[in-house]
Structure 1
Amino acid sequence: MRGNKHTGRTRKNQNKKTRPSVIAQKRRNKDIDQVHEDLKTPKRFEPGTLPRDEDLPGLGQFYCISCDRFFESAEVKAKHEKSKLHKRRLQKASDEPHTQRDAEMAVGLATER
């Protein structure tokens, strides 16, 4: 008989999340610098101002800017805003983003003035 049962060896579990095909299919969120720009104008993302889209949850009316997600209702969105993930993303987005000048200073091309 063939198989691992008789050889005494165990089969290693493969980490399926690191396979390139799984990574390529992952839904990408906005980067923090894009979220930072969106947080400057939150009025654009309020319910009623967003265009209705039947393909999105809640017709695309309940949107979390920092997490780049749509929700079914205001109650679900309110529950999400209490979550640790949302608070972490909001904290990252509220920090001042790095600029090109910061990058140049890091490699020694620019001097502090």
Structure 2
Amino acid sequence: MGRLKRKKYHKGNTYVQKMFRTRRKTKDIDQIHEDMKPEKADKLLNQEVDHDLPGAGQNYCLHCAKHFIDLQAMTSHFKSRNHKRRLRALTEEPYSQKEADAAAGMGSYYAPQKLKKVKTQPIVKKDMDTTED
């Protein structure tokens, strides 16, 4: 009996590996902190109707940067583990250039501070039946 041949079916398929690595890419925490600023948050929560987005772009979770089909799906998302985990991650101070410089040896490093507790956005029922003739 000889050695069994090892099969390397996926060797060299780097394009497949890269595709799977970037498929579920979402916004980073510091980008969401920028979106949570009042002027930008107001704009994101009150978007115009866009039929290319799920739910015509009317049901948007600001903290997770996701669109939902309807209000019921969004409210069930607010109770989910993933949303609560994201809220907990948003309580830390966002990554900044000052922190990057300190990590590179240019200055003193201070641990990121805890921010105030982040609450889930208020649910606003929007009337989508209003169409102009």
TM-score w.r.t. length of structure 2:
0.61
The equivalent of 1:23 in structure 2 is 21
Q: CA deviation at 1:22?
A: 2.8
CA contact (8 A) 1:52 1:59 kept: yes
Q: Aligned with 1:94: secondary structure?
A: coil
**How many percent identity over aligned positions?**
36
The structure with the greater share of residues assigned to helix is: 1
Q: What's the counterpart of residue 123 of structure 2?
A: none
2:74 equivalent in structure 1: 77
Instruction: Using the TM superposition, name which of 93-102 and 29-38 deviates more.
Output: 93-102
**Shift of residue 13, structure 1, vs aligned partner:** 9.2
Q: How far did residue 66 of structure 1 move? A: 1.6
Aligned pairs, how many? Answer: 101
In the alignment, structure 2 segments of 5+ residues that lack a partner are 11-15, 110-133
Amino acid in structure 2 at the alignment position of 1:98 = Y
1:105 is matched with 102
List structure 1 segments (4+ residues) > 6 angstroms apart after TM superposition: 7-14
Partner amino acid for 1:84?
R
* Alpha-carbon distance in structure 2 between the residues aligned to 1:38 and 1:68: 9
Is the alpha carbon distance of 1:75 and 1:13 closer, same or farther for their aligned partners in structure 2, counting shifts above 3 Å?
farther
Deviates more, 1:100-109 or 1:57-66: 100-109
What is the SS of the residue equivalent to 1:19? Answer: helix
Cα shift at 1:110: 1.4
1:41-80, Cα deviation, whole Å (9 max, x unpaired)? 232233xx20211111111000011211111111110100
Is 1:39–1:65's contact at 8 Å kept on the other side of the alignment?
Answer: yes
Aligned to 1:91: 88
The Cα offsets for residues 5-58 of structure 1, whole Å up to 9 and x where unpaired, read as: xx98897897xxx7233335x142111111011112232233xx2021111111
Structure 1 stretch 54-63 or stretch 88-97: which is displaced more? 88-97
Q: What SS does structure 2 have at the residue aligned with 1:21?
A: helix
